[in-house]
Chain A
Amino acid sequence: MSKVLMKGNEAMALAAIKAGVEAFYGYPITPQNELPEYMSKHMAEHDRVFVQSESEVAAINMVYGAAGAGARVMTSSSSPGIALKQEGISYIAGAELPAVIINVMRGGPGLGGIQPSQGDYKQITRGGGNGDYYLYSLAPESLQEAVDLIKEAFDIADYFRNPVMIAVDGLIGQMMEPVDFDHPVPKWDLPPKTWAADGNRKNGREKNIINSLYLDPAVLEQHNLKLKAKYDEMKRDHQRYEMINMESADIVIVAFGSTARIARTAVEILADNGIRCGIIRPIAIFPFPTNAFDEIPDHVKDILVVEMNTGQMVDDVRLADKCRRNIHFYGRVGGIVPEAEEIVEQVMTIVGGDN
């Protein structure tokens, strides 16, 4: 099929519709408003559910309810709104329900600003709410990748019975790019949702109960260990990353989302200046692509982490690199997007410097 030019927020909404989302619950916040706006118009056309709720807390609890009934369900918001949803997200993970949550990140903390940011990295990759849980978290760099990952995200959520977070920044929400909605994505092998509290007990099955409360510590411990096994499987079998220009690299940048795209331009400028720079681009930020760091050429001594925050991914890079190399950081915050030339200057300093 030919490509269509769409705004990021609208493309992500349409991707969810194509993936068979049956219900969307959301509350407005910049810079993701075009997403619920698109849903408000088009979900009804597909005879599906759209609710603009009274608050973010209400929206995520509607997601909880619909997911418990076995529906494919999604919500979207931006950083402060995602913070409000954390209680519900923790319950959804605790109750082992699939859902897709889109976070179009803006500057923080608090209300922060409305310009692009990656300031929710720690919150996203550590679960976000209370208790031992994680979200399978994807950070696309382009609209085609965002659309493909959202189409797959519903399968991933169903497979793990766990929420999947799509983490983008305001740039990706607001930009327009041509997208092919028929681009094939992997199909996951999914069992029927026999656990759903859908009221269908004609076959005489026991009641299905959706719950995250386990008052008996011995039972809760078993539940926690069951959840941990899922997160261990994600880490073991489902890391996702792209290695760019790595074979010839003398220095490596680690960056995700739009920042990785800016790093690609920096790498081109560096090549013109005779500096061979590679990129590790985490596509999933949880599980973190630890395997990628074993593929870096031995002679590389320096890694530069670039993010639109104050260095939230640096700890993960240190752990994955296992102290093999010097870890440097460069970031812009507050809604300022770094320019490729700034990254080039950082790399030049490291390569030519005495650190």
Chain B
Amino acid sequence: MINEKLIVAGFGGQGVMLMGQLLSYCATTRNINTLWFPSYGPETRGGTANCSVTISDAYVNSPVISTPDSIIIMNKPSLAKFQPKLKAGGNCFINSSLVVDIDFRDDVTLYKVPANELALELGNLKVANMVMLGAYLKVTGLFSNDEVLAVLKQKFTGAKAKLIDINKKALELGQQAVAS
């Protein structure tokens, strides 16, 4: 019985909206209910951006998530905003390249992923979001890499098709980062 409520947050431009959307696309492909809701308005232009994703076998009730099961935190301001909301025992995925010297809650499971460094190892900072998504999928087991890549193949066509490979590697690096 799947019932996952996730909030993804970071700077505008870090690809937080896409991370959430990819999960909703994967759910739709599998014919599982899902609902994606973005923060919209001036905050997305340079400030913090976030999206909520619910993936559920049952009909999705509230479109807004007050107590997420998991949070993916791409920058420091987002941790302050969303860590207090995370349910006790929930999963907290941290981009440890940017979120340092902070008090973390001790009643949640913390996954520190140096997403920026790992993305730079691949030569493109923009795939830091896919590194984090890889870590998230490894821990939650919601979708396989192949399912995510199948969605990306529909989105990245023509000149963008060459980006599939680096996104695949980014997913794998993220998975390795939380494997131990």
Which A positions have Cβ atoms within 8 angstroms of B?
2-5, 30-31, 114-115, 170-172, 174-178, 258, 261-262, 264-265, 268, 337, 339-341
Given A5-B28, A340-B66, also A176-B61 (CB < 8 A): no
List 10 additional contacts besides A171-B63, A176-B37, A337-B64; criterion CB under 8 Å: A4-B28, A5-B28, A174-B38, A175-B37, A175-B63, A177-B36, A177-B60, A261-B62, A262-B62, A341-B66
A150–B25 CA distance with the chains assembled, in angstroms: 24
Q: Most chain-B CB neighbours within 10 Å: which of A2, A178, A337, A341? A: A178
B48 on the A face (CB < 8 A)? no
A4–B21 CA distance with the chains assembled, in angstroms: 12
Given A170-B40, A174-B37, also A339-B31 (CB < 8 A): no
Question: Do the beta carbons of B41 and A30 come within 8 Å of each other?
Answer: yes
Residue of chain A at shortest CB distance from B21: A176
Contact with A along B48-83 (1 / 0, CB 8 A): 000000000000111110110000000000000000
Closest Cβ of chain B to A91, distance in Å, is: 33
A91–B34 CA distance with the chains assembled, in angstroms: 41
A197–B131 CA distance with the chains assembled, in angstroms: 61
For the complex of A and B, 5 pairs with smallest distance between CB atoms: A265-B62, A264-B61, A339-B66, A176-B36, A265-B61
Residue of chain B at shortest CB distance from A179: B28
Residue of chain B at shortest CB distance from A174: B40
Closest Cβ of chain A to B36, distance in Å, is: 4
Closest Cβ of chain A to B171, distance in Å, is: 20
Sample of 25 A–B contacts (CB below 8 Å): A3-B28, A3-B31, A5-B25, A5-B28, A5-B36, A30-B40, A171-B37, A174-B38, A175-B37, A175-B63, A176-B24, A176-B35, A176-B36, A176-B37, A177-B60, A178-B27, A178-B31, A178-B34, A261-B61, A261-B62, A262-B62, A262-B64, A265-B61, A340-B66, A341-B66
A258–B25 CA distance with the chains assembled, in angstroms: 22
Q: Which residues on B sit within 8 Å (CB–CB) of A4?
A: 28
Question: Do the beta carbons of A175 and B61 come within 8 Å of each other?
Answer: no
A326–B34 CA distance with the chains assembled, in angstroms: 37
A172–B21 CA distance with the chains assembled, in angstroms: 16
Closest Cβ of chain B to A37, distance in Å, is: 14
Q: Most chain-A CB neighbours within 10 Å: which of B25, B27, B38, B61? A: B61
Question: Do the beta carbons of A175 and B62 come within 8 Å of each other?
Answer: no
Contact with A along B104-125 (1 / 0, CB 8 A): 0000000000000000000000
A31–B39 CA distance with the chains assembled, in angstroms: 11
